[in-house]
């Protein structure tokens, strides 16, 4: 903006900076946390991917976050997710299924998602494989490990993960990427960090047996720093981006 005053040279007034949208601000805040967590342990920030967990979130809010620069989104409920995918098809987003998956819904998951994170049994992997052979590209899968041994949580036992990974690795239509876990909630970061350390050690053990794993899907809004400190390559963030769900 140019302001002319009598007897003075024209002056330029500073332009007001447009305020960030809430979607842009929340995305910036989460990315900043990831950057700081990586800097704390000397990791390049490029080694950590962000998946925005958009379960129960309206499609318009997913679009806002996508327009702010987020590309990958995670969903827990098939029918809800597939409706959003249809509404947002013009955006070319990457979709991750991160919830517990029944075998009878494996076909829909295999044909409508780019990743499935919650594979915890060979029968489910076989169902995904049968459907994934109709895809133009392999379906990325992660084995979910019940790293804290919670009776209420999905995931294979840690001692079963190596055998399951070997069983999945040879299935057509699938690309085994790595391990996924959701530790038990804890009031301080240290229990989560210990759980993620166990997951990383299991990941390294399986890699030492010749399987080319490259993904540790670990870390959520409350504990992403602990997960990144223990090697997470993909963090699944919901409430820090979209707020608390009802």
Please return the burial class of 6, using the count of CB atoms within 10 Å of its CB with bins 0-12, 13-18 and 19+. exposed
At residue 20 the predicted structure's pLDDT band, cuts being 50, 70 and 90, is low
- Mean pLDDT (the chain, rounded): 92
Structural domains in the chain, sorted by start: 22-242 (3.20.20.10)
The 10s digit of each residue's pLDDT in 49-89 is 999 999 999 999 999 999 999 999 999 999 999 999 999 99
Helix (H) or strand (E) holding 235: strand 234-237
Does residue 245 have a pLDDT over 80?
Answer: no
Concatenate the DSSP letters of all residues of 32-93 into one string: HHHHHHHHHHT--GGG-EEEEE-TT--HHHHHHHHHTT--EEEES-HHHHHHHHHHTGGG--
Lowest-confidence range among 31-45, 106-120, 148-162, 219-233? 148-162
Lowest-confidence range among 10-14, 23-27, 156-160, 213-217? 10-14
Does residue 128 have a pLDDT over 90?
Answer: yes
Secondary structure of residue 178 in the 3-state scheme: strand
Q: Across the chain, how many H-helices and E-strands are there?
A: 9, 10
At residue 130 the predicted structure's pLDDT band, cuts being 50, 70 and 90, is very high
> So what's the pLDDT on residue 188?
83
Angle at CA 42, nearest 5°, toward 22 and 96?
A: 50
List the beta bridge partners of residue 96: 74, 115
Angle at CA 93, nearest 5°, toward 88 and 98?
A: 100
Does residue 95 have a pLDDT over 90?
Answer: yes
Question: What percentage of the chain has pLDDT greater than the value 90?
Answer: 83
């Amino acid at each position: 903006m140019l302001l002319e005053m009598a007897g003075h040279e024209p002056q330029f007034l500073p332009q007001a900076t447009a305020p960030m949208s809430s979607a842009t601000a929340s995305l910036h805040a989460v990315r900043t946390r990831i950057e700081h967590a990586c800097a704390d342990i000397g990791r390049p920030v490029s080694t950590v991917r962000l998946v925005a967990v958009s379960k129960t979130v309206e499609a318009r809010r997913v679009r806002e976050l996508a327009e702010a620069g987020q590309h990958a989104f995670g969903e827990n409920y098939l029918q809800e997710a597939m409706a959003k995918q249809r509404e947002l098809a013009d955006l070319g987003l990457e979709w991750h299924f991160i919830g517990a998956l029944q075998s009878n819904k494996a076909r829909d998951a295999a044909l409508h998602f780019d990743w499935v994170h919650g594979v915890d049994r060979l029968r489910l992997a076989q169902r995904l494989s049968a459907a994934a052979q109709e895809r133009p590209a392999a379906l990325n899968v992660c084995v979910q490990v019940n790293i804290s041994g919670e009776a209420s949580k999905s995931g294979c036992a840690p001692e079963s993960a190596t055998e399951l990974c070997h069983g999945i690795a040879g299935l057509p239509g699938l690309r085994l990427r790595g391990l996924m876990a959701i530790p038990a909630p804890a009031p301080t970061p240290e229990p989560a960090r210990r759980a993620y350390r166990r997951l990383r050690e299991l990941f390294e053990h399986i890699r030492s047996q010749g399987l080319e794993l490259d993904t540790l899907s670990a870390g959520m809004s409350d504990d992403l720093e602990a997960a990144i400190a223990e090697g997470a390559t993909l963090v699944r963030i919901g409430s820090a981006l979209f707020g608390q769900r009802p």
